[in-house]
Amino acid sequence: MRDGSNGWKAGDDLLKLSAVSSGYGAVTIVKDISLTIKRGEIFAVMGKNGMGKTTLLKTILGFIELKAGDVTLEGASLRGVAPAKLIASGVAYAPQDQPLFQDLSIRDNIRLALRSDREFKNASERAFSYFPFLRDRLGQKAGTLSGGEQKMLTLARSLMHQPKMLLVDEVSEGLQPSVVDRIAAALKNERDANGVTILMVEQNLDFALRVADRWAILKLGAIDDQGGMESNTRERVLEHLKI
Amino acid sequence: MTLLLDIATTAAVLFIVASGLLAIFGVLKIINFAHGAWLTVGAYCSVLIAHWGLNPWLSLPFAFLVGAALGALTERLIVKPLYRRPLDAILATWGLGIVIGQLITLWFGRDVQMTPNLMSGTVGFLGVDYSAYRLFAVVAALAVGIGFTFLLDGTRLGLSARAVIMNESLARALGIDTGNVRLLTFVIGTGLAGLAGALLTPLTSVDPNMGVAWLIGAFMLVMVAGSSFGALAVACLLFGGAQVLVSTFLNPVLGGVTIAVLCALVLRLNPKGFARG
Amino acid sequence: MVNPTRTSRPFNSVALPALAAGALVVVAIGPIVLDRFAVNVLTRSMIYAVLAITVDILWGYAGILTFGQAAFFGIGAYATAIVATHVGDSPAMMALGFVLAVATPMLLGLLVGWLSFYHNSTPLYASVISLVFPIVVTQLVFSGGVWTGSSSGLVGYTTLPLELGGFFRLAGFCLIVIAVAAWIFVKSDAGKLLIAIRDNETRCSYLGLNTSRFKILLTACLAGVAGLAGFLYAHASGVVAPENTGFVFGTELVVWTALGGRGTILGPILGAIGIDYLSANLSGELPFLYQLIVGALFVVMIIVVPGGLAAVVTKIAGIGTNPTAIASVTVKGVASRPSAGWVEARDALIKIENLGKSYGSHHVLEGIDLSVRAGELVSLVGPNGAGKTTLMRCVSDGTLEATGVRQVCGRSIVRLTPSDIVALGVGRKFQVASVFDSLTVADCLRMARMAIDPPSVFAASRTLALPLSSERIVKLTGLDQLLDSSVSLLSHGQKQSLELAMVVALEPRLILLDEPTAGLTKPERTMIGGILKSLTEELGVAAILVEHDLDFVREISSRIVVLHQGKLVLDGSVEEVVNSALVKSVYSGGGHA
């Protein structure tokens, strides 16, 4: 169990990116990024569309091959580690594009993230604790849920394993303020109560600054600015994001 | 009445023969052109069982296992490097079919082999005497169909396979080992092809090239059916029925190409075939 | 890999005639030095080699995997034998047999081509048809009764009055002529189109090229060549049988081509002759083992060396497969073609009213109204999933189902294919640079002019005529120094520039650009921006630009349109949009519009 008994403590380096570059084919999208995420923190990567935020997450997960640099998790290099293996080892991912199987039921969407159906009861209870409406609609097709409900299901599914690390891609996109509040609460509680480390990619500045401990701005695939939470943070970040 | 039974039993045989190919094409989008060779292998499993003096019914599980085992080897060695080159995969599996056919010829000779009937004679059915085995084929087709439906809808493997069909990158993002799903799917498909070959033995002569004759019909039906077993059943009934009608009323030789021609036309008019969406 | 520093050799002008002359000598003395058996078998092998060339042009060059050449061959052979058996064997009838042997397959080739190739047809479907066709032909032969001799075929008809050696020389001569013709064709400007289609058919149709028609014609012509081979075979062997038409023979042709080396002319010839001759010699002793070895070799080859023996040989010998055998290409600027009603700034070049597009129950676009006039540079912005790329697709491909009005230059584009719409004056640049990786820079640009300047079937041009605007891009981006380089060696930015130059070479009135600067460096972006500005301001071209980089958008646009969740939420000047509170909420708050 990841409860601290095997010797870790909050504040250790959990995920470390050293001079990472990656992209598709000849195109380099993520350029020379170095970043350290500490255990138990919430880190927000912000930036406008097309600046390489999603590519960065996919590179960490191993979906996109590294062109240069290295990614380590708990000190071990992730180079050559299959995404399935990494995810099974306790790194959860809530993707932005098509995060759900639209034609499958909520139950099946949850089952697909489990290794065995025996886990279903415990894991789904965990998943439902933040979003109880899911419990009564297990048989409903995911495609018939509203946009906000789909986001909540996606997040619930990624949390149900009690991961050591969670990567979320634009979880607040297109949501009503009330739903954004619930998601913010869920993420904070996961960190506070269970020590889950969270790396989030966001365009929604207000949401990101409400949840995060530290942040970085991505511009054209490279880190343009980064920092912690200070009094002028909002203005500083807004300067980068405004049209 | 006999005509209706002919249609039903022909459709059933086609369904059994095509299901293994469909399982592989539906999930992997790879056309296993060695499918004919697997049918042949399955049929020769019956020959072996008979040779060893065992109960002929044993040939069914035996053929499935042999087909599956060979399928596992094939997926790892030949198909895996070619998932991104589907046209080359057709060629490589066709080449494999040649190899398997020649190996069988080297081992058993080119002659037609005899196998004992699993079930002989006729039974009275709705007022006509009809071949018992052909009726059994309908039962077998239903069993394969129901088995598959259960496999796809009722098991984790089926769920994973459906997930891979629908959205492979999402399946991987959830930590599903899609490589294993592919391997298992291929193995089940080839196992079924072996089983189909064993089931064919009482209906057709067994020789090293028997599979090729069945390959094209099965291939065309699968093209029309896409990735749905329901659509495959409909296609088998429709086109198998047309084949029976053409053979009965026009010309048996033309009956042999009915399926291929009709399927090609259906695909020209609607490239998605019978598959919805 | 192609070596960028290697100088091109004029291989065409020296080696080809020498090779052909050498082959002619070998063919002439062959019957004198070889025994009867070898002469007999090699005659057949050389006829098969002609078929292998046709398979190779279709599959190796144009990317169409076909099993159908056997059927065209069989039809040619049967046409010859049927005329000789049932009609007559006078010289005039022989000539009739020849005409039918070539014309029948060509007509059927048109039919097969029409079935196989249409807008959005898949390569798999064409292969399926090529598989069904020989099966149907074989069955027809079986049910042809006395006309076709059914399963025993036709035998004993009068053949051309040639000895064994004469047929050998005839077959060899035909093979050499066809091989040389094929060689010249694939190296010509028109032949490059084959490779372009194989590489990137979508790009071809967005260059205004009707690829379906080209492929249908190609199928028909090569069916005629296969029919000619059938004529030769019917006379040389004196017997035709159903197996000659079957798909199994069709697959053998593919095997020979693959082993010899697809995408070369010599490889498949040697593959066909080598394997057929060896199998005739070895099949007596090791019949099954031999096929086993060929089959296994084929599987290994497909997986490990898709290029076949030719690729192995060139690799070992260190010869690069030179995509162009041209010494060097020079660019020549030409005046733009005159265009009726070229700039009528008052009329909308493109007009969209109430456009809607949905996938199932998911609405990607809803109620879009937009019109763009000559000289405008309209930027389309909005978050991911807003429907920007879908909108671009809807106006460049009329076959895409959508509701509402879509007009280009006053004409509705509904149901028009991309190549039709290019002819109306719309050029589209894709998000990921869509060029032809196996061609050179010059050939890519030539493809863009092909719909305007019909290509030569014989010659490979040494000059490249481009409109001045396109020539300017080529010079500005330094591509003029790289005209002979393979596109696969270009950087990402160079490919983006090349694609832009190709699209501009179409002389469009309206250019659609989907993120033309994605992944480019700052100087590259500035340069592209400058080019776009001069195109619109100086030449009166209209442009619609999808772009994420809002700084870039602000610099170059004359108007900005904001899409959000499939709806057009704002359409105004740069100032209006930049200062709009709505846009800020769309981008930073992520709330509902």
User: What DSSP assignment string belongs to C444-510?
Assistant: HHHHHHTTTSPPPSS---SEEEEEHHHHHHHHHTTGGGGTTSBGGGS-HHHHHHHHHHHHHHT--SE
Chain A: partners with 3+ C-beta pairs within 8 Å: B, C
User: What DSSP assignment string belongs to B31-42?
Assistant: --TTHHHHHHHH
C122 contacts on B by Cβ (under 8 Å): 271
Q: How confident is the model at residue C559 (pLDDT cuts 50, 70, 90)?
A: very high
pLDDT recorded at residue B275: 60
CA distance A232 to chain B (A): 37
CA distance A85 to chain B (A): 7
CA distance C449 to chain B (A): 31
Overall average pLDDT of the C581-593 stretch: 58
C584 contacts on A by Cβ (under 8 Å): 242-243
Contact call for residues B160 and A112 (beta carbons, < 8 A): yes
Those of residues 219-248 in B touching chain C at CB distance below 8 A are: 219-220, 223
Share of chain C above pLDDT 70, in %: 91
Q: What does the DSSP 8-state code read for residue A27?
A: E
pLDDT recorded at residue A117: 80
CB contact under 8 A, A48 and C549: yes
Length of chain C: 593
Chain B residue with minimum CA distance to A57: B173
Chain C residue with minimum CA distance to B86: C124
Overall average pLDDT of the C196-225 stretch: 93
Q: Which fold has domain C18-317?
A: ABC transporter involved in vitamin B12 uptake, BtuC (1.10.3470)
pLDDT recorded at residue C257: 93
Instruction: Examine the pLDDT at C12 and tell me if it is beyond 70.
Output: no
Chain B residue with minimum CA distance to A86: B175
Tell me what the pLDDT averaged over chain A comes to: 84
Interface membership of B275 toward C (CB under 8 Å)? no
pLDDT recorded at residue C360: 66
Distance CA C464, CA A31 (A): 37
Instruction: For strands A76-77 and C239-240, give the pairing.
Output: unpaired
Instruction: Examine the pLDDT at C248 and tell me if it is beyond 80.
Output: yes
Distance CA C372, CA C375 (A): 9
In a domain, A125, yes or no: no
CB contact under 8 A, B102 and C292: yes
Nearest CB among B169, B176, B177 relative to A112 is that of B176
Question: Which region, left, alpha or beta, applies to residue C160 given φ > 0 means left and ψ of -120 to 50 means alpha?
Answer: beta
Interface membership of C143 toward B (CB under 8 Å)? yes
Instruction: Examine the pLDDT at C327 and tell me if it is beyond 50.
Output: no
CB contact under 8 A, A174 and C565: yes
pLDDT recorded at residue A203: 81
Instruction: Examine the pLDDT at B238 and tell me if it is beyond 70.
Output: yes
Q: Domain total for chain A? A: 1
CB contact under 8 A, C299 and B95: yes
Using the Cα atoms of residue B162, residue B167, residue B172 and residue B178 in order, give the sign of their dihedral.
Answer: positive
Q: How confident is the model at residue A176 (pLDDT cuts 50, 70, 90)?
A: confident
pLDDT recorded at residue C324: 43
pLDDT recorded at residue B167: 84
Residue with tokens 């092809």: B193
CB contact under 8 A, B87 and C139: no
pLDDT recorded at residue B156: 86
Interface membership of C362 toward B (CB under 8 Å)? no
Those of residues 156-215 in A touching chain C at CB distance below 8 A are: 170, 172-177, 203-207
Nearest CB among B159, B169, B177 relative to A112 is that of B159
CB contact under 8 A, B175 and A101: no
CA distance B76 to chain A (A): 18
CB contact under 8 A, C122 and B257: no
Interface membership of C286 toward B (CB under 8 Å)? no
C575 contacts on A by Cβ (under 8 Å): none
Closest by CA position to B63, among listed B41, B83, B91:
B41
Q: What does the DSSP 8-state code read for residue C6?
A: P
Tell me what the pLDDT averaged over chain C comes to: 85
Interface membership of B253 toward C (CB under 8 Å)? yes
Give exposure, A141-170, as e/b (b: 16+ Cβ within 10 Å). bbeebeebbbbbbbbbbbbbbbbbbbbbbb
pLDDT in tens, C32-90: 888 999 999 999 999 999 999 999 999 999 999 999 999 999 999 999 999 999 988 88
Q: How confident is the model at residue C328 (pLDDT cuts 50, 70, 90)?
A: low
Q: What separation, in Å, do the N-terminal and C-terminal C-alpha atoms of chain B show?
A: 36
B167 contacts on A by Cβ (under 8 Å): 98, 101
Share of chain B above pLDDT 90, in %: 28
pLDDT in tens, C81-136: 999 999 888 899 999 999 999 999 999 999 999 999 988 888 888 988 998 899 89
pLDDT recorded at residue C592: 40
Interface test with C, best of B79, B91, B270, B276 (most C CBs within 10 A): B91
Residue with tokens 């189902």: C401
ipTM given for this complex: 0.86
Q: What does the DSSP 8-state code read for residue C244?
A: G
CB contact under 8 A, A87 and B160: no
> Kind and range of the H or E element at C414?
none
Distance CA C506, CA C512 (A): 13
A93 contacts on B by Cβ (under 8 Å): 173
Nearest CB among A93, A95, A101 relative to B163 is that of A101
pLDDT recorded at residue C205: 92
Overall average pLDDT of the C165-183 stretch: 94
Alpha-carbon distances of B94 from B35, C191, C276, C306, C530, rounded to whole Å: 9, 30, 19, 15, 54
pLDDT in tens, C432-452: 788 998 899 999 999 998 888
pLDDT in tens, A199-239: 999 888 888 888 999 999 888 888 888 888 888 888 888 87
Residues of chain B with a CB closer than 8 angstroms to some CB in chain A: 156, 159-160, 162-163, 166-167, 169-178
CB contact under 8 A, C132 and B103: no
Instruction: Examine the pLDDT at C144 and tell me if it is beyond 50.
Output: yes
Q: For residue A61, give its domain range.
A: 1-81+203-243
Q: How confident is the model at residue C336 (pLDDT cuts 50, 70, 90)?
A: low
pLDDT recorded at residue C212: 93
B163 contacts on A by Cβ (under 8 Å): 101, 104, 112
Overall average pLDDT of the C251-262 stretch: 91
Interface membership of A11 toward C (CB under 8 Å)? no
Give the CB-side neighbour count of residue A164, counting CA atoms within 13 A: 22
CATH value of C350-589 in 3.40.50.300, 3.30.530.20, 3.40.50.20, 3.20.20.70: 3.40.50.300
Chain B residue with minimum CA distance to A62: B173
pLDDT in tens, A20-52: 998 877 778 888 999 999 998 999 998 876 678
Interface membership of A103 toward C (CB under 8 Å)? no
pLDDT recorded at residue C103: 97
CATH code 3.40.50.300 region(s) in chain C: 350-589
CATH code 1.10.3470 region(s) in chain C: 18-317
pLDDT in tens, B114-132: 777 777 777 777 777 888 8
Chain C residue with minimum CA distance to B33: C251
Question: For residue A50, which phi and psi values (nearest 5 degrees)?
Answer: 75, 15
Nearest CB among C495, C548, C591 relative to A50 is that of C548
Instruction: Examine the pLDDT at C591 and tell me if it is beyond 50.
Output: no
Distance CA A11, CA A40 (A): 7
Q: How confident is the model at residue A243 (pLDDT cuts 50, 70, 90)?
A: low
B155 contacts on A by Cβ (under 8 Å): none
What pTM, to 2 d.p., does this model score? 0.82
Chain B residue with minimum CA distance to A167: B173
pLDDT in tens, B42-65: 999 999 988 888 888 888 999 999
B97 contacts on C by Cβ (under 8 Å): 295
pLDDT in tens, A52-104: 888 899 999 988 888 899 999 988 898 888 888 888 888 999 888 778 888 88
Q: What is the CATH number of the domain that holds A212?
A: 3.40.50.300
- Between chain A and chain B, the number of residue pairs with CB atoms below 8 A apart is 50
Q: How confident is the model at residue C343 (pLDDT cuts 50, 70, 90)?
A: very low
Tell me what the pLDDT averaged over chain B comes to: 87
Instruction: Examine the pLDDT at A125 and tell me if it is beyond 50.
Output: yes
Overall average pLDDT of the B65-71 stretch: 95
Residue with tokens 């398997």: B100
